[in-house]
Amino acid sequence: MKYVLLDRDGTIIQDPLDERVDRIEKIELFPDSIEALKYLADNDFGVVLITNQAGIGEGRITEEEFWAIHSEVLNQLSPSGVNFVKTYMNGEASGPNATEWRKPGPKMLLQAAEDLSINLKDVFMVGDNQSDIDAGINAGCKGSILVETARNKKVTSPNAIYTAPNLLDAAHYIISNSWCGSY
C-alpha cells in the first residue's frame, strides 16, 4: 500500500468561519472530497490523517468530543472507499508553548512513519495552511502540497512542491508523481 498524509480541517472538510469544527453540525465536506479520496483508493493509497485541534487546548471541545466528531467525518467520507489507516491528532493550542507534536512540528508525521513503517521520502503531505507544508518539509516528506481551500484567508507557500485549487487536483498530482514499489 502507498500512503498520503492529509490534513483534515480545511483540506477534506471546510473550515467553519470560526475555524473550529467543535460540533457535528459544523462538518461540511468539500464537494470533491469523496471523489478525490475515491481516486486515491482506486490507486491503492491509504490515507493517514494529521490534524491540529487547537480547540481542545483552548477548552472549546474535549478530546472525547473530538473523536465523536471525527468518527462522523469518517462516516461521511466512507463512500469514497479509501482506507483511513490512522489519525494523528494534536490538541495543543497554538503559541510559544506548543511542542513539536503540533504542526509545523514533525512529530505526528514521524510517529506515523514509525508506527506504519512508512518511508516519508516517498510520501506527500497535503494541507491548506503553511503549518501543513512546513510539517511535511520538517519531517522529510517527498513534498508538501498546498490546497487553496482555506476559507478565511488566502494561503500561498513558496515551499510547497505543488499548489492545487482543491483536493481532487492534489490527488491527480499525487498519482501522477508517485511510483510503484514498497512504501
State pLDDT tens for residues 113-138: 999 999 999 999 999 999 999 999 99
Which stretches of 7-113 are assigned E, i.e. beta strand? 45-52, 83-90
- pLDDT > 70? residue 20: yes
7, 22, 32, 134: the catalytic one is 7
The pLDDT value given to residue 182: 40
Specify the pLDDT at position 19. Answer: 81
Longest dimension (CA), the chain: 44
For residues 54-60, average pLDDT: 94
Question: Considering only the top CATH level, what class is 2-176?
Answer: alpha beta
Q: Give the SS3 label for residue 22.
A: coil
Candidate list 9, 15, 32, 134, residue with the active-site label: 9
Is 9 tagged catalytic?
yes
Query: What are the C-alpha distances in Å from 67 to residues 21, 64, 118, 123?
Result: 11, 5, 24, 25
